[in-house]
Every structure is written in structure tokens, then in C-alpha cells.
Chains A and B, each alone.
Chain A
Amino acid sequence: MSIERPSNHDFPSEAEGMDLVYCRPETLTDLPFHYCPGCSHSVVHRVLMEVVDELNIQDKTIGVAPVGCSVFAYHYMNVDMQEAAHGRATAVATGIKRVLPDRFVFSYQGDGDLAAIGTAETIHTVNRGENILMVFINNGIYGMTGGQMAPTTLVGQVTTTSPYGRQVEFAGHPIKIADMLTQLPGAYYVTRQAVHNPNGVRKLKKALTKSFQYQKEGKGTCFVEVVSNCPSGWKMTPVETVKYLEEQMFPLYPLGDLKKPDGAK
């Protein structure tokens, strides 16, 4: 399938005399996404590739894909990519960055990957202050495997493995992994964003841009959490997930910078 990418030479007639102000980023491949309708994953893929385009670092960027719905991230992000075993993306990213320190290295992981099976790698990567960007998609659920409870699932949230809602006595409290990581000296920049509305997307873009700049300056680990949706796992329409994010997710996972360099805006 060919994807439409109107260029400056190929304007629709209604756009006669107008400027092209937004189009699919160059560094996103022509492949249509396999994600469910309305899923945050593909928005984050796009914004990440927009940042790579704007910083002009396509040939210097290496990403590490996780296991989870975004296991095929390498099909869409037209940069060098490496797949990692479940939970191990930041360990693999560590190796890549140490061997090729002049590259921009990022890992991309869901909450089942980063905050459950990969907890050890996550903590130690940040503790070592590895000079990489960690992108964390927190949709509070295991999307790929059919919507099971994750460590990040909200108290009372119904999933296939918590049919009566998550109970604290049984499963403990949802883990706020970004808050935990701020305690580690290796964490240079920790922020929590969302892509539920246009301003959220703009802020995420700024956070990712800053993270790559810090990486260039060799500052340490940048951790960007994106509080995301999973319309299929949550059994909601994409529009309903926006309300759920605002009313249920953000009170527990408030948006904003959790740790920023001294003096940074």
C-alpha cells in the first residue's frame, strides 16, 4: 500500500496557494500501523520520528524495541533498530551505547516490559546513569497478550486477570516507576507526558527533543513516561479512553517533569 505524502510539488487543489504545515515524518516508513484504532503507541512512534527528523539524526539513531504490542516498532521507525528479549531493552541499549557512544540510543518499552519482567534492567540502567533515552509506554495493562493486569494497573481496574478489579491485598499497589527512578543519581531527566490531546503531543515532542540534546551532552539517563491508552485492553472506544485517562489515570500518574536538571526550564 502506498501512503500519501503530499510534497511541496503535489498539492491538492483546495490547498492552492497554501503552505504545507504538517505531514507524516520522513523517518516513519510507508507501512500502515498494525495497532488497534486509537492506540497511543503509534502516536508516540510518530512523535519520536518527528524529533529524529528535526534534529537531523536519522543515520545516527539506534532504537531498541521491546516485547509487547510495539514489538514491531522496527517496521515503522526508519532508523537502525534492534529487538530485545522481553524486559531487556535497556540492557541491550546499554551495550549499544557503550560500543557506539556517538550514536543517539533509545529504548522503547511498555509497562509489562519495563516495569514487570524488566524491573531489574530498568533500575540498574538508570542507576548506572547510562547515557540513553528510555521511552516508557504506560497503558496500565498487558496489551499484546490480551489485557492482563500489569504492575501499573490501577486499584479497582478490571482486567482479564483481575475480573473484580485490582485488589491491593492481593496484588499490591500500582507501581509508580518514574517516581522511583527519580531517586537514583543516574537519572538526569525524568518526565511524565501523555498524547491524549494536541497539547500533550506538543509537550511530549519537547521532552523527547530535550532528552536527545541531553544525550548529546552526555548527561545521563533520560526517562520519558507516556501515560497511554489501550482501547482494546480497556474495552473502550478511543474517545472513551481520553476521559478515562483524564479522570482515572492522571490522578495517580500526574503529568509533568519529575526530575529536571538544575536551572532547566
Chain B
Amino acid sequence: MIKGTVKIDAKICKGCELCIISCPQDGLGLAAQFNDKGYRYVELIEDNCTGCVNCALVCPEAAITVFRQPKPAKKSVEKK
């Protein structure tokens, strides 16, 4: 499976949890700490992110940046 990761800007996250329910890997969760605005912010709590971008698409604060491993080059020619 392709590996990815997310970077969540904890300063502007409002803990709405919409990203949590959109993550097919159940990889996101609320931190125990609060940010300066007083919200429990979201963190990647599992090491299973696939970089599917779902969380970033629904985030109302545009707080999520997503990274993903490049797709491996197709080896169809060699296989035969």
C-alpha cells in the first residue's frame, strides 16, 4: 500500500472532527492538549496514512497538508 503522511497546523485546527470521520484508515484523533484558541486539535495517531487526501478536502480550516510516496513506476514490460 502507498504510504503517506499529513501535517496538521495545530494552531488553526478547531477540533471539528470532520477529518476524523472522513479518514478511511481511522488514523486521526484528537490530541489531549488544547491549542491557543482553546480547541483540542487533531493529530495523526496511527502510522497508516495512505495520503488519500480525504481529511484535507473536508477540513474547514485548510489546516491539513498531505504528502504521499510517488507511485512505483510500472514494470509491466519486464513482467511478461
Using A43-B60, A201-B58, A239-B21 as known contacts, say yes or no to A19 and B16 having CB atoms under 8 A apart: no
A17 at the interface (CB under 8 A from B): yes
CB < 8 Å A-B pair total:
111
A4:B60 contact, CB within 8 angstroms: no
By a CB distance below 8 angstroms, the chain B residues around A36 are 14
B residues 1-44 in Cβ contact with A at 8 Å: 3-5, 7, 9, 11-12, 14-18, 21-22, 39
| Residue among A14, A21, A41 with the highest chain B CB neighbour number at 10 A | A21
Q: In the complex, are the beta carbons of B58 and A11 less than 8 A apart?
A: no
Give residues in A with beta carbon < 8 Å to B: 1, 3-6, 11-12, 14-15, 17-25, 28, 32-33, 35-43, 46, 195-198, 201-202, 231, 237-239, 242
Quote the shortest CB–CB distance from B28 to chain A (angstroms): 13
Pair A198/B5 contact, Cβ less than 8 Å = no
B positions within 8 Å CB-CB of A: 3-5, 7, 9, 11-12, 14-18, 21-22, 39, 51, 53-54, 56-70
Would you list the 9 A-B pairs with minimal beta carbon distance, nearest first?
Answer: A38-B16, A37-B14, A15-B67, A22-B66, A18-B67, A198-B54, A238-B16, A37-B16, A201-B57
Q: Known contacts being A18-B51, A239-B17, is A12 close to B61, with CB within 8 Å? A: no
CA distance in complex: A110, B57 (Å):
21
A43 B58 Cβ-Cβ under 8 A: yes
Which residues of the partner chain A approach B60 to less than 8 Å between Cβ atoms? Answer: 33, 35, 37-43, 46, 238
Q: Give the residues in chain A near B57, CB-CB below 8 Å.
A: 22, 198, 201-202
Whether B18 lies near A239 (C-beta < 8 A) is: yes
Q: Are B18 and A242 in contact (CB under 8 A)?
A: yes
Find B68's partner among A19, A40, A42 (CB 8 Å cutoff).
A19
Assess the B66–A37 pair: CB atoms within 8 A.
Answer: no
Taking a contact as CB atoms under 8 Å apart, the answer to whether B7 and A4 are in contact is: yes
A86 to B4, CA, bound (A): 45
Q: Which residues on the B side are within 8 Å of A3 (C-beta)?
A: 9, 11-12
